[in-house]
Amino acid sequence: MRKLLLPAVLALFSSIYCQGQTGVVDSLENIIATTGSDSIRIAAMLKLGVYYRSRNFDTARYFYQRALEESQHHGYARGMVAAYAGAGVTYGMEGEYPQAIIHFEKALAKARESNIPDLVFNQYNSLGIVYKRLGDYPRSYEWYNKAMALADSLQDPLKIADNQFSIAVLHDMMDEPDKALTLLRESLKNYTKAGRPVMSNIYNSIGVILAKANNYDSALHYYFIALEMDRKVDKKEAELIVMNNIGNAYRKTKRYKEAEKILLDALHEAEKVRLNQAKADILYNLSKTYVAQRQTDLALEYALKMLDLSKSLGSFLQIGEAYEVLSHIFEQKQDNTTALKYYKDFKAYQDSLFNQNKTKEFKTQQTMFDVYKKDQELAKQELELTYLNEKALLDKKWKFMLKASSALLLFTLLLLYQRYRHRLRHNELLKSKNAVIVSQKQHIEEMNETLEKRMLRAQMNPHFIFNSLSSIQHFVTVNDKASALKYLTKFSNLLRSVLETSTGVQVTLAEEIELIKIYLELESLRFDNEFKYEIKVDQRLDIYNLEIPLLLIQPYIENAILHGLLPSAKEDKLLNVTFEATDNAMRVSIEDNGIGRKAAQVIKEKKGYKKQSLGMSVTQKRLEMLEKNKDTTAAVTVADLYRDNGEPEGTRIIINIPQPINGES
Amino acid sequence: MNLRVVIVEDEKHSRETLKNLLMEFCENIDIVGFGGTVSEAVETIRKSFPDLVFMDIELQTGTGFDVLKELENLNFEVIFTTAFEHYAIKAIKFSSIDYLLKPIDIEELQNAVEKARERKDIKERTQQLQLLMKNIGNIPSDKKKICLATSGGLEFINLQDIIFCEADGSYTNFYIAPDKRLTVSKNLKEYEYLLVDHNFMRVHNSYLINLFEVKRFVKSDGGYILMNNEKQVSISQNKREEFLERMTML
């Protein structure tokens, strides 16, 4: 049984017949060349694609490609979708279904990405059609259902109607007339709802399905509606098809006269507009109608006409049908040989038709395989895409790690800041602690001072100690027992004083004077009484209570002897040491009549002394420390003494030692 | 033949002490003169041709070196005396010249006198004194020489030629470029004291090295130093840091 609905389906792929001829093309190309609007230019290209795809696939694809590039350049999504879809339709018309699928899927992806629902809907439908053409009904059904779901959600009755019609056709092909019929009726309702003039072929299709179910009266009802509509819009081909269907329905219900009438009308019309395909079908029906009425001659006449026409059309199906009718006619004529002959021809064409179908089926299988391969490729691409996604995900992970570490850093900084704040808060506590530390530090400094004094004393002594010991050695060598013993005793006393005062660095003035006396005696002995000395102490000084640092004055005396008196060639070398009381201090003066500072300095320089003698620098330091303790000046002044004639007459050193008033210490 | 001795001392007591000690404890001595000041000392030495001069470093009018400076012929032995450790002691030791600390130790005195008496090589004495005079002045390390008294005589060695010194009981072995080895009867500590100011470093109990003669510091095997004469020198663990620091400061 022929699927009568097929032409309607094919309409999607067949060109929308442009009445415009070359003029239209020229004007479109003119628009492309002159318009300043990108969208208009793209629309013109798409229109040219539509125009050319029923004439030249390559030209059509060229315009779609241009439209695509232009759209991509301007980021015009609708243009891109339309260009892909147009190319898909072109491939579909060419029978290049795998390419058609690819292009529709590209169009679909772009439409989805740009979120244009009506374009998404169109691609669903197109894919449904392609798979239907491939005979893959389940997948076709899948796409149509997607389209249906979208149309439902869009609440667009026109789209729903279109979709229902498409699915109905699919059901018809799958030999499910009931489902097809239901959908067609609903489709009809929705077209009405959409306020769209209903396509006549829907009524026709309903009629065909009803006729298949032998419901000819209902079928005729729909046929006549379709016929009326077709006549209004002057769609000759559709009109003829409907008329032929009506004739067929009349014949089946044995209303031969009505059948004959409408079929002859249709034949007349068909001959007028030279619609040979339809004419062949009409001749077939007419012939059959006459066979039914046993008007064999007329039947034969139209059957032969049909055979000729079908042969010229090369339509195997119709040639076969013609032979079948002829076989019937000769059966009626009792001419069994001819009947058998035509029957054999009929069978042969049926076989060839069968073979043709087989070939077609094989081709379909081939196409299916191509589609399968394409699918595989797509799956592979999808896999690659997944891989890329994974990579992106990995990148994201890295980014996350980075973020996490940054967060950690921030957190650490926050903690540090908190600690800093904490510290600030505890600053006052620290301050009070600091005060304690400061006082402790002072204490330590005092202790250090004591220690330093001890150290300084230790540095001061060695020269004197070794010189003293050498002196004793001398007395021994010269067998001066008395002097040796005396020197030894005095040196012991001095040493003992120094060592015993190691705990307290201050000594009473009396003690210091005693030590100086011992020292002077020792030096006098050592230098064989080369100089004389005198110590004077002010009666006002409380020598037993006043305290001064141990051996503070001794280095100045030593200096006076070694550098002032000993180099002198004088006979009466004299050293005077005087302790005097002043208002709140004590004054010590050490006076010698030696060579004077200048001459002494010359000798020192000659000896290569670079610095002040160790003893002197040590004493200077000790005096400075004294100042620190007493808040008064501990001054050392040096006066060069001269004779009346201007010659140097020794040196006087005055040391001011700050002291509290008697008894207050 | 008696040893002719001059005593240069500014203190009368010290002079007398030394004289008495020499007379009593040393044999075959003729004290041929005294000097209390620089000029006195120069004059005395010039006219009395001593074999040995006891020289106080500190004199009232100058130093013992001033005396030596003024003399044309340094053809006598010198033993320095001082009461206290003096800045010039190092220079004296560099020249390997004897010195006595006061109060004087009789045994040290006897040894020094005998040593002076036994020495026959007059040229050596002069060299020693010349070296001393040179070293008293401030001369750079790389021009400085040290006098090493070995069993075979005195050796005058450029400091920069000493690669390293090695302790050998109370003796010290000197390794001198290119491949000389000398043994001196003083301990390593003595030389550490003398050489530490001249880019030498005690890297180990047994080793005093010239830092300029270090070829490589080898970290493996617990660490050791390879010297320019290809000899390995151990380094103490606690000296490593200081060693590396000083090497970078060179």
Residue the block writes with tokens 């020229």: A26
Q: CB distance A466–B14 less than 8 Å?
A: no
pTM metric for this prediction = 0.46
- For an interface test with A, give the residue of B7, B9, B11, B68 to mutate (most A CBs within 10 A): B11
Amino acid letter, residue A209: I
Could you tell me if A611 lies within 8 Å of chain B, comparing CB atoms?
no
Q: CB distance A470–B63 less than 8 Å?
A: no
This model of the complex carries an ipTM of 0.70
Instruction: Tell me how far the alpha carbon of residue A126 is from its chain's centroid.
Output: 39
Is CATH 3.40.50 correct for A1-115? no
Residues 6+ apart with CB under 8 A from A484: A472, A475, A476
Q: CB distance A526–B13 less than 8 Å?
A: yes
What percent of chain A stands above pLDDT 70?
83
More confident residue, A534 or A446: A534
CB contact residues (below 8 A), chain A span 445-474, against chain B? 462-463, 466-467, 469-474
Amino acid letter, residue A184: L
Res A228: pLDDT: 85
Res A20: pLDDT: 43
**B37: closest chain A residue by CA:** A567
Res A628: pLDDT: 59
Q: CB distance A526–B11 less than 8 Å?
A: yes
Map out the domains of chain B with their CATH numbers: 3-136 (3.40.50.2300), 158-249 (2.40.50.1020)
**A473: closest chain B residue by CA:** B103
Question: What are the domain boundaries of chain A?
Answer: 1-115, 382-425, 439-658
The answer on pLDDT for A37 being more than 90 is: no
Q: If you average pLDDT over every residue of chain A, what do you get?
A: 80
The answer on pLDDT for A304 being more than 50 is: yes
Shortest Cα distance, chain B CAs vs residue A477, angstroms = 6
Could you tell me if B13 lies within 8 Å of chain A, comparing CB atoms?
yes
Q: CB distance B63–A566 less than 8 Å?
A: no
Nearest CB neighbour to A608, from listed B61, B63, B101: B63
Q: What is the pLDDT of residues B131-178, one digit of tens each?
A: 888 888 777 777 889 999 888 888 999 999 999 999 998 899 999 988
Res A18: pLDDT: 39
CA–CA separation, A501 and A461 (whole Å): 14
Nearest CB neighbour to B103, from listed A473, A566, A607: A473
What percent of chain B stands above pLDDT 90?
48
The answer on pLDDT for A365 being more than 70 is: no
The answer on pLDDT for A498 being more than 60 is: yes
Res A6: pLDDT: 41
Per-residue pLDDT band for A555 (boundaries 50, 70, 90) equals confident
Structure-token pair, residue B49: 């041709």
Structure-token pair, residue A127: 């894919």
SS3 for A518-540, per residue?
HHHHHHHHHCCCCEEEEEEECCC
The answer on pLDDT for A504 being more than 60 is: no
Nearest CB neighbour to A463, from listed B11, B83, B103: B83
In this prediction, residues A362-377 reach a mean pLDDT of 68
**B23: closest chain A residue by CA:** A477
> What residues of chain A lie within 8 A of the CB of B70, using their CB?
none
Could you tell me if A528 lies within 8 Å of chain B, comparing CB atoms?
yes
Shortest Cα distance, chain A CAs vs residue B214, angstroms = 36
The kind and range of the H/E element at A422 are helix A336-425
In this prediction, residues A481-501 reach a mean pLDDT of 79
Structure-token pair, residue A566: 């000993």
Reading phi first (left if > 0) and then psi (alpha if -120 to 50, else beta), residue B49 is in left
Residue A362's Cβ-side half-sphere holds a number of Cα atoms within 13 Å equal to 6
Could you tell me if B60 lies within 8 Å of chain A, comparing CB atoms?
yes
The answer on pLDDT for A663 being more than 50 is: no
CA–CA separation, A173 and A261 (whole Å): 31
Shortest Cα distance, chain B CAs vs residue A470, angstroms = 5
> Lowest-confidence range among A209-213, A308-312, A610-614?
A610-614
Reading phi first (left if > 0) and then psi (alpha if -120 to 50, else beta), residue A262 is in alpha
> What residues of chain B lie within 8 A of the CB of A466, using their CB?
83-84, 101-103
Per-residue pLDDT band for A398 (boundaries 50, 70, 90) equals confident
Res A3: pLDDT: 45
Q: CB distance B12–A470 less than 8 Å?
A: no
**B64: closest chain A residue by CA:** A607
What sign results for the dihedral spanned by CA atoms A241, A243, A247, A249? positive
Shortest Cα distance, chain A CAs vs residue B61, angstroms = 6
A93-100: long-range contacts, CB 8 A cutoff, minimum separation 24:
A93/A13, A93/A14, A93/A15, A93/A53, A93/A54, A93/A57, A94/A57, A95/A367, A97/A130, A97/A133, A97/A134, A97/A367, A97/A370, A97/A371, A98/A367, A98/A370, A98/A371, A98/A373, A98/A374, A100/A126, A100/A130
Answer for the pair B38, B58: CB distance below 8 angstroms, yes or no: no
More confident residue, A304 or A53: A304
Nearest CB neighbour to A462, from listed B17, B84, B104: B84
In this prediction, residues A305-328 reach a mean pLDDT of 85
> Lowest-confidence range among A188-192, A232-236, A584-588, B74-78?
A232-236
> Lowest-confidence range among A451-455, A592-596, A621-625, B105-109?
A451-455
In this prediction, residues A88-104 reach a mean pLDDT of 85
Q: What is the pLDDT of residues B15-49, one digit of tens each?
A: 999 999 999 999 999 999 999 899 999 999 999 99
Res B80: pLDDT: 93
How many other C-beta atoms are found inside a 10 Å radius of the C-beta of residue A369? 11
Per-residue pLDDT band for A528 (boundaries 50, 70, 90) equals confident
Res A11: pLDDT: 40
Per-residue pLDDT band for A616 (boundaries 50, 70, 90) equals low
Phi, psi of A207 (to 5 degrees): -60, -45
Q: CB distance A466–B63 less than 8 Å?
A: no
Report for A92-96, A267-271, B118-122: range of highest mean pLDDT: A267-271
Res A15: pLDDT: 38
Res A502: pLDDT: 53
> What residues of chain B lie within 8 A of the CB of A615, using their CB?
none
Q: Please provide the DSSP assignment of A371-385 as one string.
A: HHHHHHHHHHHHHHH
Strands (E), A607-665: 636-642, 648-658
- The CATH number fitting domain A439-658, selected from 3.90.1150.10, 3.30.565.10, 1.20.1540.10, 3.40.47.10: 3.30.565.10
Q: What is the pLDDT of residues B60-112, one digit of tens each?
A: 788 899 999 999 888 899 999 988 767 788 888 888 899 998 889 899 999 99
Nearest CB neighbour to B62, from listed A477, A526, A607: A607
More confident residue, B207 or A129: B207
The answer on pLDDT for B230 being more than 80 is: yes
The answer on pLDDT for A325 being more than 80 is: yes
State how beta strands B77-82 and B99-101 pair: parallel
Nearest CB neighbour to B16, from listed A462, A472, A477: A477
CA–CA separation, B61 and A512 (whole Å): 32
Res A430: pLDDT: 78
More confident residue, A36 or A637: A637
What sign results for the dihedral spanned by CA atoms B120, B124, B128, B133? positive
Size of interface A-B (CB pairs under 8 A): 58
Res A397: pLDDT: 85
Residues 6+ apart with CB under 8 A from A505: A450, A453, A454, A457, A549, A550
In this prediction, residues A502-520 reach a mean pLDDT of 78
Please work out, in degrees rounded to the nearest 5, the angle formed at the alpha carbon of residue A85 by the alpha carbons of A81 and A87. 120
In this prediction, residues A275-287 reach a mean pLDDT of 87
Per-residue pLDDT band for A665 (boundaries 50, 70, 90) equals very low
Nearest to B110 by CA among B119, B125, B120, B100: B100
Q: What is the pLDDT of residues A260-280, one digit of tens each?
A: 899 988 988 888 877 787 888
The answer on pLDDT for B55 being more than 90 is: yes
Per-residue pLDDT band for A13 (boundaries 50, 70, 90) equals very low
Amino acid letter, residue B34: F
How many other C-beta atoms are found inside a 10 Å radius of the C-beta of residue B16? 18
**B21: closest chain A residue by CA:** A477
CA–CA separation, B97 and A498 (whole Å): 36
CA–CA separation, A134 and A122 (whole Å): 18
CB contact residues (below 8 A), chain B span 195-214, against chain A? none
Amino acid letter, residue A152: D
Structure-token pair, residue A643: 């004779």
The answer on pLDDT for A570 being more than 90 is: no
